[in-house]
Amino acid sequence: MEGAQKKPPSRKTLQFERTDAGEIIDEETGSMWNPETGRCVTDRLKDLQLKEISAIVSFAKAWKTFYPDGGYFKE
């Protein structure tokens, strides 16, 4: 349908899987997202942009030294 607006998921947490080629795919919609820009490159969500969040990469021991009550994500 030409002229129809794209509707982003309303404040929904998306679940991604990474392919062997390094692409990220939304598990629900199957849309492909650019991991460097956070922009959707396919499907009905094309050209939508993910919200950027702050993150830090650190060694677990150093993190626990500076943030003893903090948590961390392990892949």
What letter represents residue 40's amino acid? Answer: C
The pLDDT assigned to 58 comes to: 81
DSSP letters of the chain?
Answer: -TTPPP---TTPPP-EEE-TTS-EEETTT--EE-TTT-BB-SSTTTT-BPPP-------HHHHHHH-TT------
The pLDDT assigned to 2 comes to: 45
Contacts of 18 (CB under 8 A, 6+ apart): 24, 25, 35
Has residue 9 been placed in a domain? no
The pLDDT assigned to 3 comes to: 42
Tens-place pLDDT, residues 1-15:
344 445 555 667 888
Tell me how many domains the chain contains.
1
Has residue 4 been placed in a domain? no
Domain that holds residue 38: 14-75
Has residue 6 been placed in a domain? no
The pLDDT assigned to 39 comes to: 93
The list of the chain residues with pLDDT below 70 reads 1-11, 72-75
The pLDDT assigned to 40 comes to: 93
Has residue 74 been placed in a domain? yes
Has residue 2 been placed in a domain? no
pLDDT mean across residues, the chain: 81
